[in-house]
Structure 1
Amino acid sequence: MAKKTYWIFYILFLNTTIQIVNGGFQKLFHKGIRYERLSLLNFTEISTEYGYKSEEHTVITEDGYVLTLFRIPKGKNCHFTVQTTPVLIMHGLLLSSDSWIDSGPEAGLAYLISDDCYDLWAGNVRGNYYSRNHTRMNPEVDSEFWKFSLNEVGVYDLPAIIDYILEYTRSVKLNYIGYSQSGGSFIIMCSERSGYCGKVSVAILLHPAAKMTNVKSQAFRIITKACEILEPNIQNALEYEALPRGGYIQKMMHDICQNDFIADTICRSILTMLDSYNPGSISVSTIRALTGHFPAGTSFRVMAWFSQVLNKEEFQNFDYGPVMNMKIYGRKQPTTYNCNATTAPVVIIHGENDNIVSKKDVEWLKGQLPNVLEVVYVKNPLWNHFDVPYSQHTREMLYPKIGEYLFKYSGHGAE
């Protein structure tokens, strides 16, 4: 109990310190900040800047969450007929659909895929700034809005998004690309929602987060553990929102990272501390842009769930403790997801320098899934977790294998 109290006071102190530092920084430097223009824009505005026509769509889940979905129906550099099988790409923890375009048209996966003549859809899960709405609840007031973990993303968000895309495009199946937590949520969907795996021609999982007992990043462990400790004590709705866009941490990082020198030193060092070192992979302009969109917000319960899976040998649901587990699951331990239900063909792409999703955990996942076509390790030995959405080398390091399987499993290819 004493240790838990220590953590609570430590986090409260840290939060107060961040507010004071941010406030002082704003007063001293705010007037002189020259913001990266793209960091201030949304998905449709950014894509328009680069000459890509995009659309905004609204999806409502079975439990009432209002999600925003973006579409690039045809890339600027696509000069042929668009493939009939749409592509859905889903972001990672604390990110949004903006992460697929922040590195620009030469490297952003949304641009590369749409330029290859695919109907590209970029989703947003509940709780980030694009999907912070509900048909009945107000996220500013109702703490119940924030009481979700990754389970609800897999059970409600992904099925709703997939159904919407298939109905809108009149397609039978789509191709799925899931990064980090969206790899895990895809497996949850297949385990908990019968029939939805059959709506996916191929699932390309980029650094998928499922069992994570071998995480090397101490910063990730500390942040998620703090959230796990604080989560049961939170009552206020706004306090239940973790690391939102517009919060103290995001605003402070956005401000200080607009200076090129600071972006290339301090801000790059923060990314390295969270993940690992890959010099020059993420450009300074991308760092300046991404800090306007990251962190994008989620619930404390999602962050707490990530802390829990760091110490579990199986991929399982949220652990409420023995008493609540009995009420919710009918057993003292959380239910375990059935990875064997992921019957869709799966391709896993991973980087060996990833300190958040380890190679050992990826190899474990490979052994749990019944239909893994290939596990590909990026040729660059320093390729890490944040390189997936943000590296300027995505076209040569990551996209060839993605493009290979999208082509194979699109309208003209094998189903």
Structure 2
Amino acid sequence: MFRIPKGKRCSGPVRQTPVLLMPGFIVDSDSWLDAGPSSSLAFLLADACYDTWAGNVRGTEYGRRHVRLNPDTDSQFWDFSTHEMGKFDVPAIIEYILNKTRSNAVNYIGYSQGARILYITCSETNACDRVKVFINIAPGVRLKYYRSLPLRLFLKFYALTLPLLKRPEDFEVFPRGGVLQTLGSIICKDNIFAATICKAALFLIDSFEPGSILTETVKALYEHTPAGASAKTIALYAQNMDSFSKYDYGPEKNLEVYGSRVPPEYMLNRTRMPTVLIYGRNDFVADPRDVKWLSLQLPNVAELYEVNRPTWNHVDNTYSQFIKQLLFPKVNEYLLKYSSLRNN
């Protein structure tokens, strides 16, 4: 976890309520910084005098330490999905921040998977009692209308091959320093490749969005992405295209683990704090229809907000040069409402 206690452009008192940023799938806290000081949400928040924390979850580059297991040699380390992130990682992060800052609550901003895991936290624990406002940015909860054809085919193929694997939950995928990330970082250091091939590759998982992401940001993105994940996390996404439920081990083991042959759904109605849902019309991952469905399941939606740019897609939320103009004002509006001041 990383902290910016006060931005360089903050000239007033720092707000007492810490802000926790949680990243998306196969990225880590670097993703909140890669767009640079003038566009990255973490820098913008710190400059607006918020005590800004960028968290990480297990399995990423910054989440590989364990009191007993070695991620490079112990397959048991990788037996986790977003369930463990929400049930254990997020509550521990919130508790650490509160102890460090002596605050009584945090404001939580989750992007994609980062939003998904707080719903799990709320369903499985009482840690959400310490969250004042929950700002969802392109929440990756239900993915029924996921429009990226290459990734949809990949997830469907992955789901079909799961029964053929002896233990599908005990290995790492997409590590930082692996072949995919190493090749990407080398190729995309070149300005021409970064502006063409590397930028075009993003459209395989998302929609086409011309001119939003600067070439320097593309370079930083590939330097840090992918950042690691577990195979079980991908398996859960493959299972959860049309639902938001716990990991499906098969009828017999489900009965042993859950007491039912079918994995239970997470209880979205336990997310009781004011909740803001931000989405883009052109997002092929967190499709607007899925975000609107999510809003109907929640008891305390403060606002369902569409970013004012028709081409705004999934990766724009962390990497666009227009974050300051299009995303930050809405985020700041709700943070101001649910933050108190302290003199520094």
Q: TM-score, normalised by structure 2?
A: 0.96
Q: Which residue of 2 aligns with 1:125?
A: 57
Contact 1:206 1:348 in 2 (8 A): yes
Distance in 2 (CA, whole Å) between partners of 1:236 and 1:373 is 39
Distance in 1 (CA, whole Å) between partners of 2:156 and 2:235 is 7
Q: Which residue of 1 aligns with 2:144?
A: 213
1:373 lines up with 2:305 in the alignment: no
1:160 lines up with 2:92 in the alignment: yes
Distance in 1 (CA, whole Å) between partners of 2:162 and 2:113 is 19
1:281 lines up with 2:218 in the alignment: no
Q: CA deviation at 1:225?
A: 3.6
Distance 1:143 1:230, change over 3 A: farther
Q: CA deviation at 1:107?
A: 0.3
Contact 1:231 1:300 in 2 (8 A): no
Distance in 2 (CA, whole Å) between partners of 1:145 and 1:397 is 39
Distance in 1 (CA, whole Å) between partners of 2:286 and 2:150 is 13
Amino acid at match of 1:285: E
Contact 2:107 2:134 in 1 (8 A): yes
For structure 1, the residue ranges without an aligned partner over 5 or more in a row are 1-68
Give the ranges of 4+ consecutive aligned residues of structure 1 lying more than 6 Å apart after TM superposition.
Answer: none
Which region of structure 1 is more displaced relative to structure 2, 209-218 or 109-118? 209-218
Which region of structure 1 is more displaced relative to structure 2, 389-398 or 224-233? 224-233
Q: Which residue of 1 aligns with 2:69?
A: 137
Q: Which residue of 1 aligns with 2:117?
A: 185
Q: CA deviation at 1:142?
A: 1.1
Contact 2:162 2:168 in 1 (8 A): no
1:240 corresponds, among 171, 174, 183, to 171
Amino acid at match of 1:135: V
Q: CA deviation at 1:222?
A: 2.9
Q: How many residue pairs get matched?
A: 341
1:337 lines up with 2:269 in the alignment: no
Q: CA deviation at 1:230?
A: 5.2
How large is the RMSD of aligned CA atoms in angstroms? Answer: 1.6
Q: Which residue of 2 aligns with 1:61?
A: none
Distance 1:213 1:378, change over 3 A: same
Contact 1:379 1:397 in 2 (8 A): yes
For structure 2, the residue ranges without an aligned partner over 5 or more in a row are none
Contact 2:56 2:62 in 1 (8 A): yes
Distance in 1 (CA, whole Å) between partners of 2:166 and 2:9 is 49
Distance in 2 (CA, whole Å) between partners of 1:143 and 1:102 is 31
Amino acid at match of 1:386: V
Q: CA deviation at 1:235?
A: 5.7
Contact 2:14 2:341 in 1 (8 A): no
Structure 1 segment 229-268 matched on structure 2, within 5 A: 229=160, 233=165, 240-268=171-199
Q: CA deviation at 1:234?
A: 6.0
SS in 2 for 1:186: helix
Distance 1:140 1:115, change over 3 A: same
SS in 2 for 1:288: helix
Contact 2:171 2:230 in 1 (8 A): yes
Structure 1 segment 395-406 matched on structure 2, within 5 A: 395-406=324-335
SS in 2 for 1:84: strand
SS in 2 for 1:201: strand
Q: Which residue of 2 aligns with 1:201?
A: 132
Distance 1:186 1:376, change over 3 A: same
Distance in 2 (CA, whole Å) between partners of 1:365 and 1:226 is 26
2:276 corresponds, among 344, 347, 362, to 347
SS in 2 for 1:197: helix
Distance in 1 (CA, whole Å) between partners of 2:290 and 2:265 is 16
Distance in 1 (CA, whole Å) between partners of 2:60 and 2:166 is 19
Distance in 1 (CA, whole Å) between partners of 2:166 and 2:215 is 37
Distance in 1 (CA, whole Å) between partners of 2:249 and 2:168 is 19
SS in 1 for 2:224: coil
Distance in 2 (CA, whole Å) between partners of 1:167 and 1:377 is 35
Which region of structure 1 is more displaced relative to structure 2, 217-226 or 265-274? 217-226
SS in 1 for 2:50: coil
Q: CA deviation at 1:269?
A: 1.0
Which of the two has higher C-alpha Rg?
1
